[in-house]
A = this chain, B = another copy of it.
Amino acid sequence: MQLRRADVLRGARDLLDAEGLDGLTMRKLGAALNVQAGALYWHFAGKQVLLEAIADDLLAAVAEPPPAGPWDQRLVTLAHKLRQALLGVRDGARLVAETFVTEPNTALAGRIGMRILMDAGLPAEQAAWTMFAVGHYVLGHTIEEQATGPDRDAKLAARAEGDADLRELATAIGADPGRRFEFGLGLLIDGIRVRVGPRTPADN
């Protein structure tokens, strides 16, 4: 049974989950698919291209617009879908960060967010810049969230000895990432609201 492009993609995702981004090598991927490493180059032009394909695959779920509703709710939904997409595979955020806006689906996600904000009354440029800000926040947050901290929290805690502020910081980073994400997203939404103007009853 022959290898198809989709098989390579799925194998790469599995290997990524198992070994992390640094452990994902063409040779291991070949072995996992019972094929020589060189054979992969028939399906993908190079490792970089393969990584981009995985990244784009990951973001496919973000390519369709959230259901109608008030702009802030729609935007929150979009941001959550983006985070969930990045969390869909180990080191997903780092992977996307290294290929970023190149892929079709990233652009589509940006397009959708822009529409939401333009419908809310923002001019095109502001809408675009706002989406960049939201995207950057989500990406930064998720990279940190996925940074495997086997010793990370311990290291920070060790350094926090005798420094009340650092102790507080260490505790805060140990909190549920989902709630932290929500909080930061709320800051952005409130900031956007200042520019959009308060909701009117007509928005429903």
Residues of A within 8 A of B (CB): 94, 97-98, 100-102, 104, 107, 110-111, 114-115, 124-133, 135-141, 143-144, 147, 152, 155-156, 159-160, 163, 165-166, 168-169, 171-173, 175, 180, 183-184, 186-192, 194-195
Contacts and interface: CB of A to CB of B under 8 A. Distances in A.
Given A97-B143, A144-B100, A187-B191, A111 B152 contact: no
Contacts of A131: 169
Contacts of A175: 125, 129
A169 B107 contact: yes
Contacts of A97: 94, 97, 140, 143-144
Contacts of A155: 102
A147 B101 CA distance: 9
Contacts of A136: 136-137, 139-141, 143-144, 184
A94 B155 CA distance: 21
Contacts of A188: 133, 187-188, 191
Given A94-B97, A190-B190, A190-B191, 15 more contacts: A100-B143, A101-B144, A101-B147, A102-B155, A107-B169, A125-B168, A125-B172, A125-B175, A132-B141, A133-B184, A136-B140, A137-B184, A138-B140, A139-B140, A189-B191
Where chain A touches its partner, the secondary structure class is helix
Quick one: copies of this chain in the complex?
Answer: 2
Contacts of A190: 190-191, 194-195
Nearest to A167: B124
6 contacts: A101-B152, A107-B166, A111-B163, A111-B169, A126-B183, A137-B137
